[in-house]
A and B are shown apart, each in its own frame.
Chain A
Amino acid sequence: MSTVQPVMSLEGVSKSFGSVTAVDDLSLTLEEGEFFALLGPSGCGKTTLLRVLAGFEMPDRGSVRLDGADITSLRANRRPVNLMFQSYALFPHMTVRSNVRYGLEMEKLPAPEIDRRVGEVLERTQLEEMANRKPDQLSGGQRQRVALARALVKRPRVLLLDEPLAALDKKLREEMQLELKRLQHDVGITFVVVTHDQGEALVMADRVALMKDGCIEQLGAPRDLYEHPQTRFVADFIGTTNLFEGRVAVGGVQLDGHGLLKADNEAETPVGEPAVIVVRPERITLHVKARPKTANAVKGTIADIAYHGQDLNVHVAVSGAGRHVQVRISTAQETSATYRIGQSVWCAWNPEHGRMLTR
């Protein structure tokens, strides 16, 4: 049991819009100083959940707590929680400095303190030189930093970020992922980021909640979600994965035409039930000459080879499988250049790298 009180918690929160349930009986706790990611496809309810945390949506049921106090009916302007908007929502008629000052002016702080804190934040976000510019004179990356500075200067208990990097180009986005993580570490504020980009969530977050249909499908560290997905949806959403569909048998899953594939039956699903084995592409090895003895293996034909520079994506057509089996091989491996389309191969993996899932 953790003795640390969570910064924020949701208990049994539901929110519907007309007949659409956006968030369905969801509970969640946010720890002090963590970087939390709400991940999911569009329409999964992650943005609604963020707006409930911010105070822009009142939940139909359930409660929102901050430092133990019930703030469910507290409006957004009275919560020590700030939101960085996806569109940045900068005030177009104000300079960068006025944008950043605004939140502190609302707190009616003495002018010298406002000046000092605004100066600190502008320095931290490297915006001092642009302090007197208007938002339309800034680049996308600079606007993003202004939005961040404007929220950070308030020193919120929790900073909410709605798709903070979505509007940036790919290269800048990768830089900003690490930049945001460093910033969060330096200021020590709890960050909650909403994203549909699983790569972004894995890189930045300490914990990730993958959402589907208004519920949390799986919550855990990025490595947990990637290595130990609990449902097919998680396995499929996070990274690339191979699914082998069959039925539960003693010691593994029986696959039509390929025999028994060994796997640990963690959920103790009864024999005969439909099940799937999920294996990551980088866990599969290709064997040309003979079936490896100890490992699980299925036979197929190479259908496609995609060269990515540092690695090779080999697509293997396997009878009875809906999709091609994907195998990722490092080009540093000497055999990598020897594969040819049409070649007959065994796709093999160690049983501990495949997971049996029944949901």
Chain B
Amino acid sequence: MGRGLLNVHLRLVYVFLYAPIAVLMVLSLNRGGMPTAWTGVSFHWYVRLVESPEIVSAALNTLIVATVSTVIATALGTLLALGVERRRTSSAMDALLFAPMIIPDIVLAIALLSFFTLLDFTLGLHSIILSHVVFNIAFVCAVVRTRLKHFDYSIIEASTDLGAGDFTTFRRITLPVIFPGVLAGALLAFTLSVDEFIIAFFTAGAGSSSTTLPMRIYSMIRFGVTPEINAMATIVMAVSFTLVFFSQRLNKGSIAGE
């Protein structure tokens, strides 16, 4: 009986979580565009999106920010994870590594903006990229560290023993073995960067040249939720969901594969 009730609960929670999103996805396909009347299925609003130069340039900006910050954060975060796991750190250091993940975005956003202003740093896409690298390093590092928990360090010594130098060992042994973790971290970082609004909003500076997709959506809903926004939100969500799905599968596989 208890199990039956728990099952009902489980279903209700999923409805609670996903009903609004499902409604949004359905509305994005509504030909008429009004939330009150269903007038048939159409991809009309998706076409409108692609035809808008402002939205296309915002999407490109988001892709640039997400790609560049992911590449930088993945490289730095992976090396950080390797370093941290090799030498036993204090719990204070551990906490400082996790902090960028749990500090409220608004706090991080204000801190970064003040910092850039203090340094007289010009704002633009590059400052958004740097800001995204800040929190993405923490996420990549955390994901790679879970992979390293199951890492047998004696294979590094075995590689050295067989005549390999440090760089060869990293390229042929360490990196291939932890690669599922690195890729999972990168996918997560990319997703977070694509969705991120507050920090980008604060560190983008004036002018529309560095507007990202979430910022564009925000400026559009000031005039009401249009059907284009539903369509765009559906696309963003589909991309995020796919990336998170693969990231999770990789990490699960990486642990089971040990």
Is A87 a contact of B162 with CB atoms below 8 Å? Answer: no
Is A93 a contact of B176 with CB atoms below 8 Å? Answer: yes
Is B152 a contact of A89 with CB atoms below 8 Å? Answer: yes
Sample of 8 further A-B pairs with CB below 8 A, known A106-B163, A107-B163, A136-B257: A85-B154, A89-B155, A90-B155, A91-B173, A92-B177, A92-B258, A103-B163, A154-B162
| A150 partner residues in chain B, CB cutoff 8 A | 158, 162
Is A77 a contact of B154 with CB atoms below 8 Å? Answer: no
Q: List 27 A-B contacts (CB under 8 A).
A: A56-B161, A76-B157, A76-B160, A76-B161, A77-B161, A77-B162, A82-B161, A82-B162, A83-B157, A83-B158, A85-B154, A89-B152, A89-B154, A89-B155, A90-B158, A92-B155, A92-B177, A92-B257, A102-B164, A102-B172, A103-B163, A106-B168, A107-B163, A150-B158, A150-B162, A151-B161, A154-B162
B224 at the interface (CB under 8 A from A): no
A56 to chain B, nearest CB (A): 6
CA distance A103 to B161 in the complex (A): 8
| A54 partner residues in chain B, CB cutoff 8 A | 161
A75 at the interface (CB under 8 A from B): yes
Of chain A, the residue at the smallest CB distance from B157 is A56
| Per-residue interface assignment for chain B, residues 181 to 223, with 1 indicating a CB less than 8 Å from any chain A CB and 0 otherwise | 0000000000000000000000000000000000000000000
Of chain A, the residue at the smallest CB distance from B258 is A92
Is A83 a contact of B161 with CB atoms below 8 Å? Answer: yes
Interface size class of A (residues with CB under 8 A): 20 to 34
A87-B152, A93-B176 known; A154+B157 contact, CB < 8 A:
no
Is B163 a contact of A91 with CB atoms below 8 Å? Answer: no
A111 to chain B, nearest CB (A): 17
CA distance A91 to B172 in the complex (A): 10
Is B157 a contact of A85 with CB atoms below 8 Å? Answer: yes
| Per-residue interface assignment for chain B, residues 113 to 153, with 1 indicating a CB less than 8 Å from any chain A CB and 0 otherwise | 00000000000000000000000000000000000000010
B240 at the interface (CB under 8 A from A): no
Q: How many A-B residue pairs have CB under 8 A?
A: 61
CA distance A89 to B152 in the complex (A): 7
| B161 partner residues in chain A, CB cutoff 8 A | 54, 56, 76-77, 82-83, 151
Of chain B, the residue at the smallest CB distance from A80 is B163
A89-B152, A93-B177, A106-B168 known; A77+B158 contact, CB < 8 A:
no
B104 at the interface (CB under 8 A from A): no
B144 to chain A, nearest CB (A): 16
B151 to chain A, nearest CB (A): 10
| A136 partner residues in chain B, CB cutoff 8 A | 257
B248 at the interface (CB under 8 A from A): no
CA distance A106 to B172 in the complex (A): 11
B226 at the interface (CB under 8 A from A): no
B228 to chain A, nearest CB (A): 46
Report, nearest first, the 4 A-B pairs whose CB atoms are least far apart: A106-B163, A103-B162, A89-B158, A89-B154
Is A91 a contact of B158 with CB atoms below 8 Å? Answer: yes
B40 at the interface (CB under 8 A from A): no
Of chain B, the residue at the smallest CB distance from A85 is B154
Looking at B162, B163, B176, the one whose CB has the most chain A CB atoms below 10 A away is B162
A333 to chain B, nearest CB (A): 50
CA distance A102 to B165 in the complex (A): 13
A93-B177, A106-B168 known; A77+B155 contact, CB < 8 A:
no
A92 to chain B, nearest CB (A): 6
| A107 partner residues in chain B, CB cutoff 8 A | 163
CA distance A76 to B247 in the complex (A): 37
Q: Which of A77, A90, A151 contacts B160 (CB 8 A)?
A: A77
| B176 partner residues in chain A, CB cutoff 8 A | 93
| Per-residue interface assignment for chain A, residues 47 to 80, with 1 indicating a CB less than 8 Å from any chain B CB and 0 otherwise | 0000000101000000000000000000111100
A85-B158, A89-B152, A89-B157 known; A77+B163 contact, CB < 8 A:
yes
A106-B162, A106-B163 known; A91+B155 contact, CB < 8 A:
yes
CA distance A151 to B157 in the complex (A): 13
Which of A230-247 touch B at CB < 8 Å? none
CA distance A154 to B152 in the complex (A): 23
CA distance A56 to B162 in the complex (A): 12
B159 at the interface (CB under 8 A from A): yes
CA distance A93 to B158 in the complex (A): 14
B167 to chain A, nearest CB (A): 11
B235 to chain A, nearest CB (A): 36
| Per-residue interface assignment for chain B, residues 46 to 85, with 1 indicating a CB less than 8 Å from any chain A CB and 0 otherwise | 0000000000000000000000000000000000000000
Is A77 a contact of B165 with CB atoms below 8 Å? Answer: yes
Is B157 a contact of A102 with CB atoms below 8 Å? Answer: no
Of chain A, the residue at the smallest CB distance from B165 is A77
Is B160 a contact of A75 with CB atoms below 8 Å? Answer: yes
| A77 partner residues in chain B, CB cutoff 8 A | 160-165
